A = this chain, B = another copy of it.
Amino acid sequence: MDRLLPWLRLQLTPGLGRVGLMHLIEHFKTPEQALDAAGRGWPRLPGLRENLAAMVPEASFPRVQSACSCLDSMGGWMLSFWDPDYPQILRQIPDPPVLLYGCGSLPEGPALAIVGTRHPTDFGRVFTEQLAEELAVAGVVVISGLARGIDAAAHRGTLNGGGRTLAVLGCGIDRIYPAENRRLYQQIIEQGALLSEYPPGTEPLPGHFPGRNRIISGLSKATLVIEASRDSGSLITAEFALEQGREVIAVPGGVDHQTSYGPNLLIKQGAHPITEAQEILEILGIGKHDNKPPELAQPSLFQLPEPAGSVLNKLDLTPRHCDELAGESGLTPMELSAILLQLELHGYADKLPGGRYIRGRRPH
């Protein structure tokens, strides 16, 4: 924590931004030496206003103290741009964070950002989870922003696949935002890491999210956009990815869904269109090309006698309500629900909220 204090005093100096801090350290080599020099005033450097040195808070300043003790109590850590453990891929972006606060252990390996709307369709959510799970199994590190919707589904799918995931926040890593992702937040610390360029205690202000997005894309070889309406922040992430010379990947969507606007726009602009995990592995340059992911679970008409086979035949990736299935199959709701449960247990069907079902991807 002794190491942390001078960094926090500099970062929490009002009016000292990323560019000024970067130049200050390039000039003085260490934060301690920059602080020592503050009494005499700092030289003219890009991003440093005149008399800024007078604004440096004391070590006893409450915000400095609380950020310090908060990180300590969480078991968190801080990396500076000059630290050998600072992610190499992030050093290459035009505007790398000077400081990264984290909790958990930074996963290594090829990383994919998965981002999208906070209001996905049921299909989009399930598709994201399944895709992230397949990618996790193939060894991909999945990076996202812990927002509700596609972000949460991407983290959740990765965790389900036993994979490693990294959540980049637009607030301090001590803030659980949105609160509904509390459980996910805990699991991510255990199976990956939380990361933020904002010191602990920072609120999730709207202005923080574009900066957060550049870190998400900047840590990733490619950014995948799944469902994003016209004003989705994930389109900003995709633009950062392009600026950073990274690949952009998008899942095409039906013209009749607002959430298809973003991915379809990106595809028109040259993003890779993909519909399967295998295609992403190829873009990332990993995985065996002959090791195709399993197709939709086929009714091998194994142990399940009729009418289970014909119920399964009515299922594809368009959610169907069980009442509708009951009507069509001529089964009583009780008979049908027993069959659907069997199909679900064997991985042939997935249950969605509201009593709807789709075909499962993978028999387990």
Q: Which residues of B contact A138 (CB under 8 A)?
A: none
Contact A267 B252 (CB under 8 A): yes
Which one of A12-20, A165-173, A208-216, A239-247 contacts B? A239-247
Q: Give Cα A265–Cα B295 distance, bound, in whole angstroms.
A: 10
- Tier of interface size on chain A: 35 or more
Q: Give Cα A6–Cα B364 distance, bound, in whole angstroms.
A: 60
Partner of A247, one of B123, B256, B264, B299: B299
Q: Which residues of B contact A252 (CB under 8 A)?
A: 252-255, 260, 263-264, 267, 273
Which residues of A in the span 260-303 have a Cβ within 8 Å of any Cβ on B?
260, 263-265, 267-271, 273-275, 279, 282, 289, 293-300
- Assess whether A154 is interfacial by the CB under 8 Å rule: no
From residue A193, how far is it (CB to closest CB) to chain B in Å? 29
Q: Which residues of B contact A248 (CB under 8 A)?
A: 298
Partner of A123, one of B254, B269, B282: B254
Partner of A245, one of B245, B257, B299: B299
- Assess whether A317 is interfacial by the CB under 8 Å rule: yes
Q: Which residues of B contact A269 (CB under 8 A)?
A: 293-296, 298
Contact pattern, A 314-337, Cβ under 8 Å of B = 1, otherwise 0: 001110000000000000101000
Q: Which residue of B lies closest to A259 (CB)?
A: B254
Q: Which residues of B contact A8 (CB under 8 A)?
A: none
Contact A255 B271 (CB under 8 A): no
Q: Which residues of B contact A270 (CB under 8 A)?
A: 295-296, 298-300
Partner of A318, one of B256, B274, B318: B256
Q: Give Cα A104–Cα B358 distance, bound, in whole angstroms.
A: 48
Partner of A264, one of B127, B245, B271, B275: B275
Chain A positions within 8 Å of B, measured between CB atoms, are 123, 127, 239, 242, 245, 247-248, 251-258, 260, 263-265, 267-271, 273-275, 279, 282, 289, 293-300, 316-318, 332, 334, 358
